[in-house]
Structures are given as C-alpha cells and as structure tokens.
Amino acid sequence: MENFDQIELDILNKLKNINDRSSLDLFKTEVFGKKGSITELFKKIVSLDQNKKKDYAAKLNELKQKVEKTIKTRFIEFDQVEINKKLKSEKIDVTLPGRAFFSGKIHPVSQVIDEVTSIFSEIGFSVEEGPDVENEYYNFSALNTPKNHPARDMHDTFYLDHSKELLLRTHTSPVQIRTMLNSKPPFKIIAPGRTYRCDSDQTHAPMFHQLEGLHIDKNINMGHLKGCLYYFVKKFFEIDKVKIRFRPSHFPFTEPSAEVDIGYRIQDGKIKIGEGDKWLEILGCGMVHPKVLKNVKVNPKEYQGYAFGVGIDRLAMLKYGINDLRAFFESDIRWLEFYGFDPLDVPTNYRGLSR
C-alpha cells in the first residue's frame, strides 16, 4: 500500500515553495487534474483487493481533503496579498484638503465692453468690427482728414511702412467707413476695439480702447445724438440724473462737432459722477460730415446722422475707481485678481478660492 504520510509530506512541502497564484493553479492541476497525482491514486481503487479497498479509500480521502484545504488556504493568502497591494497603491486620503480651483477674472476693459455693448443693443445698435492694421484711406482720407492734418503726424501715428500707407488705427472711426461702404443706409452700429497712438503717461497708453457709434438715417438730428448719449451715460453709470455738457469742438469727420463732458464731484476721496461743479471729458461726437457720406456713396441730402467716439479705458477707470491706465496692460495677475470681475456663468459652488 502507498505511503500516504510520505505523499502528504511531499505535497505539503511543494506547496510551501509556491509563491504566486498562477504556480498554485498549475500545481492544483498537477494534483487534481485528469492526470493529477491524487486523481491517479483514486483510479487505482478499482484494481485493489476487496479487503484493502476500504482502508485505502479512507486514507486517500483524508489526504485529498487535507491537500484541498491547504490549497484553498494558499489561494486565500495570495488573494489577500493582492488586495493589500491594491489598497496600498490606490489609497485615497479623504482627510487631504481639496485641490484649489482658481477661476479666471474678466479684465475691466472686457467687462466695460460687454456692459456698453448690451446698453446700446437695447436701443437697436448692432456691433461691427474692423482690423487693427488699417490703411491710410479708411483711417484718415475717407474721414475727411487731409494729408497735412496734425493727427497724421509721426508723433501720433504708428506707421507700418515708409509710404505711410499701412498703420495701426488711431481710432475706431475707420469702422464707420468700412460699414457704410459694405451695405446700404440706414446704419445703426457701435464698434468697440483696440486703437494705437505714440503716447504714454499715467492717463495715456500706446494701445487703448475706443467705442465708435454711428447712426445714419433720414431725418436724424443732434437731438437724437443728445438723447442717445444721455441714455447711455445714465445706464452706464447707473444714475438717474446726470449733468452733461456739449462743448463745441472740431473733428474733420463731423460738422458740427462737440466734446461731451459729464459733471462730477469728489466726495470722501471718491468720485461721484453726474453731479457737482467739476467737468470731465468723456467723448467726442458730432453730425457726420457730408464729405464723409459722399466718400461712402451715401447721399447727404437724403441721409444724415451722428457719430461718437468714447474712450473705453477712461470709462472703466471712472466707473470702477482705477487711477493708473498703464496698469491695465501690464498683465499683473494680482491687479486682475483685485480689479477683475467674476464670470457671470460660474456657478456659486465653483467660485475659485482666493489666492
């Protein structure tokens, strides 16, 4: 009869030396598979003498159970090791503070452009755009600004070539010309955008922003211009009463021309717009010059209207109490954190943490 004790010892020794799950799988087949060592021992039973059968089968069954149990335990061990390994590498520390979410800020200039655009859209103005690099014709000639006009001077204008054909637009007024050449009257547009002049001090930057307005139709007069600007100033500065002064001025592309001042006073170190006895210039405007209309093939006898040009940066400085224009364009993130605006569509629970 087989030495079951020896067989058991051999099997258990082999099992001890197995170190991974797949080797254990293999070993299980070696023992219990179709041609496994224990399976073979079972096959022998039929050929045994009747008197030996019982004892043999009992011992074999006992061996089988022991080996099965040990193999099972080892499987559980390997699984446990695997789980522990996973737990360690995929550990989530729920006590860690959340990762900070920094939301961007909207630059005051972008904010003011949005505000101004929505104010004018409410009264029927649509938005037009023009290129920053303009040619001499749209920027000056078509706007009735002759060759010897001081605005054409090198000290004011960034020219891009020697022939002074290409330049960085000095105002948004060329968008008037482009718009009128592109379609037929009536026109009722605003054009916000970047403008450039050789200038730099506390209130002037070589790049700044303007908003152009143009309204051309039959029977448009200066009363319409006044009404439009009153409406705009009240809405923009969120005040009910406002003092506005139209001061006679000169622009080559308007006749008559005016500069518009708004009344203000200083209260507790802060500027109060709309009241008081001080005046602050905010824009230039006038009735579009007949020569400009002729240049864009609009009959001045049939159509006329007004135009205006506002400094957007100036508006932002006034409304939001910012006193150095140059800081607008220095891209200092701390400045933007302070003076910038939260995007409206950011849900409150996503508000960025402050730096």
Q: Which is nearer to ligand DAH, 262 or 285 (CB)?
A: 285
Q: Please give the residue whose beta carbon sits closest to ligand DAH in the complex.
A: 309
Q: Which is nearer to ligand DAH, 130 or 309 (CB)?
A: 309
**Contacts to ligand DAH from residues 285-304, by CB under 6 A:** 285-286
Q: Which is nearer to ligand DAH, 105 or 215 (CB)?
A: 215
Q: Which is nearer to ligand DAH, 173 or 304 (CB)?
A: 173
Contact 313, 208 (CB under 8 A): yes
Site size for ligand DAH, by CB under 6 A?
Answer: 11
| Pairwise CA distance, residues 43 & 33, whole Å | 12
Contact 306, 220 (CB under 8 A): yes
**Segment interacting with ligand DAH, rule: CB under 6 A, options 52-60, 95-103, 284-292, 333-341:** 284-292
**CA-to-CA separations, 251 to 33, 231, 259, in angstroms, rounded:** 102, 23, 10
Chain centroid to CA 28: how far? 61
Q: Which is nearer to ligand DAH, 111 or 170 (CB)?
A: 170
Nearest distance from C-beta of residue 237 to ligand DAH, angstroms: 20
Q: Does 254 bind ligand DAH (CB under 6 A)?
A: yes
Q: Does 309 bind ligand DAH (CB under 6 A)?
A: yes
**Segment interacting with ligand DAH, rule: CB under 6 A, options 9-17, 39-47, 263-271, 283-291:** 283-291
Nearest distance from C-beta of residue 229 to ligand DAH, angstroms: 11
Q: Which is nearer to ligand DAH, 111 or 179 (CB)?
A: 179
Contact 284, 257 (CB under 8 A): yes
Nearest distance from C-beta of residue 308 to ligand DAH, angstroms: 5
Nearest distance from C-beta of residue 139 to ligand DAH, angstroms: 10
Q: Does 173 bind ligand DAH (CB under 6 A)?
A: yes
Q: For ligand DAH, which residue of 130, 193, 284, 305 counts as binding (CB under 6 A)? A: 284
Q: For ligand DAH, which residue of 169, 171, 209, 314 counts as binding (CB under 6 A)? A: 171
| Pairwise CA distance, residues 294 & 298, whole Å | 5
Q: Which is nearer to ligand DAH, 56 or 328 (CB)?
A: 328
**Segment interacting with ligand DAH, rule: CB under 6 A, options 116-124, 128-136, 269-277, 279-287:** 279-287
Token look-up 């009363």 returns 223
**CA pseudo-torsion sign 275, 279, 280, 283:** positive
Tell me the two tokens of residue 245.
Answer: 């002064």
Contact 286, 306 (CB under 8 A): yes
**Contacts to ligand DAH from residues 207-226, by CB under 6 A:** 212
| Pairwise CA distance, residues 258 & 288, whole Å | 12
Q: Which is nearer to ligand DAH, 208 or 339 (CB)?
A: 208
Q: For ligand DAH, which residue of 78, 208, 236, 251 counts as binding (CB under 6 A)? A: 251
Burial 256-286 (b: 16+ CB within 10 A, else e): ebbbbbbbbeeeeeebebbebeeeeebbbbb
DSSP class of residue 109 equals H
Q: Which is nearer to ligand DAH, 28 or 171 (CB)?
A: 171
Helices (H), 2-107: 4-16, 21-32, 37-44, 50-89
Tell me the two tokens of residue 64.
Answer: 């089988």
**CA-to-CA separations, 10 to 21, 38, 39, 184, 243, in angstroms, rounded:** 20, 12, 16, 102, 107
Q: Does 307 bind ligand DAH (CB under 6 A)?
A: yes
Q: In the complex, which residues of this chain contact ligand DAH (CB under 6 A)?
A: 171, 173, 212, 251, 254, 284-286, 307-309
